[in-house]
Chains A and B, each alone.
Chain A
Amino acid sequence: MVAVRPRRINWRLAEVVDVVPETPRTKSLLLEVPGWEGHRAGQHVDVRLTAPDGYTAQRSYSIASAPEDGQLALTVDRLDEGEVSPYLTDELMVGDRVELRGPIGGYFVWETKDGGPLLLVAGGSGVVPLMAMIRHRAASGSDVPTRLLLSSRSFDEIIYHEELESLAARDDGLKVVHTLTRSRPEGWVCYGRRIDAEMLGEVAWSPEESPLVFVCGPTPLVEAAASALVSLGHEPARVKTERFGATGG
């Protein structure tokens, strides 16, 4: 075997060039990262904060932007008890700098050459790495048939709502289905419950169409969705999952 010593993924400074509120709890940070080598949709970065006395805290955040986009976008969900996310959503302003390293992760990734059909299942901010895939698909002019099933707590908490609507309206093979688990506006016609096998049976490609499946969200949603997909006959090896716990951030 040839011993290859891979290059270290070094920390570097990115500059905040825009802060975009997505929902009441969620903001996207658009970052200029000098020398960014590019990433694959689905990867993440580590972000590190340093206090004046040298104390540091680091967390991982999924990349929301497509590889084709000029800036790196991270979408951060504010966790009230968190140490890093409230700083990123409440404190950080345009012109500030933030330390990060990446891109990281080589499994939960999709490129247009991987083909489809693509089934994307997300809960809350679990949509972030899937949005990178959807943006990559759009930016590269791909027509890979793609379905996104997105579970949000309420209408106001749907992340990327308008952008998803306009991408779906292009009529190039992207379909977006919403479910709202806590409250629904009057006249809501999409789903109004947690993701379950019946819903996936209606929304998902059939196992015979052997879709590539990406599921991302809080653990209970991922467990439920992944188990339901397997019970519907999808091959476990084609169901990729990424989870986040109820705490942390």
Chain B
Amino acid sequence: MVEGFFSRGFRGRRRNQDPALPPGQYLEDGFPVLSAGPTPHTPLEEWDFSVVGEVDEPKRWSWEEFRALPSEEITRDIHCVTKWSKFGTRWEGVSVDTLLDGVETSAEYVTAYCDGDYTTNLPLEEVTGGKAWVAFAYDGEPLEPEHGGPARLLVPHLYFWKSAKWVRGLQLTAYDIPGFWESLGYHNFGDPWREQRYWGD
């Protein structure tokens, strides 16, 4: 904050008086799309989801096996680092707790890896305990490719780049390995309530 400065003639629209809106965010009704490259289109018969890395035994599900896992309906607010937030988004997905059920690991971190070579890193405890899902439906419909379909990670309590689109697996790691945006200037943890947008925030 530059102390005492205000913008001559600016009044604003008072859209972010809502206590559910993290600092610096504004409310968005649409669902903007952001991604760093072309949208991948992996056919479902080629799609799989894996849990690998520091685990006793890797796990793998085909699309059919994945969809046969118990799923949950999730309604959460989401917050994008590009400043928009969207309230009450409705998803359906498989809890990461379900995917890690029975996995023996000493790992403390996880890297989500995706089609298109995107990665994002998270502390394991931020994706367990009912905090994260692999979502395959949005607003009652199959997740569209441009929004990350067939399936994306959903970690709604962190900035939305952590909710990696086109996710194909989780790699459990002993060390924290910065992912794609985390290596390119964006914050390693990404808590919207602490406005952790960029390196050093």
Interface positions of A (Cβ within 8 A of B): 1, 5-9, 11-13, 46, 48-52, 55-60, 83, 87, 91, 96-99, 104-108, 219, 223, 226-227, 229-230, 236-237, 239-248
Contacts and interface: CB of A to CB of B under 8 A. Distances in A.
Given A55-B12, A226-B38, A237 B117 contact: yes
Chain B contact residues: over half helix, strand or loop, or mixed? Answer: loop
B68 interface: no
Interface of B: 1-2, 5-16, 24, 26, 28-40, 82-84, 116-117, 146, 175-176, 180-181, 183-185, 197-201
Contact of A240 (B16, B29, B32, B37): B37
B32 A244 contact: yes
Contact of A1 (B9, B14, B175): B175
Contacts of A240: 36-37
Contact of B12 (A49, A219, A229, A243): A49
Contacts of B175: 1
A46 to B, nearest CB: 8
A2 B32 CA distance: 36
B146 to A, nearest CB: 6
18 contacts: A1-B175, A9-B199, A9-B200, A51-B10, A55-B11, A55-B16, A58-B83, A59-B83, A83-B12, A106-B183, A226-B38, A236-B40, A241-B37, A243-B32, A245-B31, A247-B28, A247-B29, A247-B32
A239 B38 contact: yes
